[in-house]
Structure 1
Amino acid sequence: MFPEERRQKLISALEEHYSMSVSGLAERLGVSEATIRRDLNELQKLGVIRRTHGGALLASPRKFEPTYTDKKDRFLVQKQKIGRVAAGLVEDGETVILDAGTTTLQMVRHLKEKKNITVITNALSIIEEMEANEELDLVVIGGRLRFSTRALVGPMAEENLRNFHADKVFIAANGCTIKEGLTTPNLTEAYTKRAMVKAGSKVIAVLDHSKFGEVSLTTIAPLTEIDVIVTDDGIDKKLQKEMEQMGIEVIIAE
């Protein structure tokens, strides 16, 4: 079992029982107590859990993760606008990474109008949308398939991403706040998204207004690592100003 998978199972155990001892977690996961302690230390650094005497509990309740099907039609008009504007940031000849998400999917048909574009992605929906277009150079990140989000994730995906360098990375998230940055409910998916962020010269978050003010289980990246946010006009203007004061370019898709 890969460390990310084991840590996700550890989190699931804490969600079920709220608080568990190191020995109880070790028995449940079939690993040594030393391994559990290392995992807990890592998860505590990420802000996912809080250590207790002899055990741990979740730092905050985990929020429900909607499936791809649940999300694909939600705020569709706004996502279409965001996708068009985000695609407009891509120049001919560039290499871009497209994260799995219903908003990044909306970029694809506009990217088809570009010349000599290389698209690196872990999203089945984007692969399916692009597969018939011979004008675009498509690179698929391998990994374990998460059926709920239709994304290839995990250590294989992260290792592949370490071999790439992209001009721009377009990242999706379930939540965004000034304090917590970009967040997502699944730890394994968060690690893959972090590898994407590290692989790009410019990081662009594509988020409809419903994601702002929301916090999911674990942080993908702090806002200090985000260069541009493309969103819709439903964003809170005060929050927009705060992010702009941080040096983030906020683009409103209209």
Structure 2
Amino acid sequence: MSELDGKIVLVTGGTRGIGFELVRSFAAEGSSVAFSGATADSVAQAAVRLKEVGAPFDACRGFVADFADADTPSRLIAEVAKAFGGIDVLVCNAGVSGPSDPWIVQAEEWDRILAVNLRAAFFCARDAAEEMGAKGGGSIVNIASVAGQIGGAATGPAYVAAKAGMIGLTRSLSRHFAKLHVRVNCVAPADIDTDMTAGWPDDLRQRLVAMTPLGRFGQVDEVSGAVLFLAGGGASFVTGQTINVNGGIYMG
């Protein structure tokens, strides 16, 4: 039996890419998994795909959550805790990258990128930690990015700022929530093969591969493996850390 069997997990931004694989992976471990998507359509489509890949029907439930709305994190945590009877693991994965030309970003779009990628993570973590503390503890895993460590080769300054902030936020939360027996860690992937990166121009993909010592993009299961480790008992003395899943593009 997996150590994650029976755990209640919330994955924000769980309808595609890394988030979808996280939902599938936790469900395969026997966890009950709540996941969020920005629209009802994205949540419904993810639910269909989860059935297609064999995720247990009763293990996963989707929630609509637009994190550009400041009230969404508290509402989502309350809804999930009520529906599932608490939260043991929170994975803050929801994010947006911004306009195709990040250097023409307007103030409103800048604020939206920071709200979805960073602000929402703080308020989700704050409320989830309270739920976890009432049960004796838990684990929070934030999904950052190598962009926040090297300045971004394919993304703009708003996204980079948000992901760098996620690493700092992880350290701050880990100190504050330790008294609740809630561990907080971070995973910082580099370029991962997903539906989003599949649409990147070939010259960009080749340039990024050339920058990566292992010479390829990562796979979603390589990210989920790190997240599941941090969520489980094998990482019971690990908090405030960032695991880099990046093929060696950043070594820090």
Give the TM-score normalised by the residue count of structure 1.
0.41
Greater strand content: 1
Greater helix content: 2
Bigger Rg, structure 1 or 2: 1
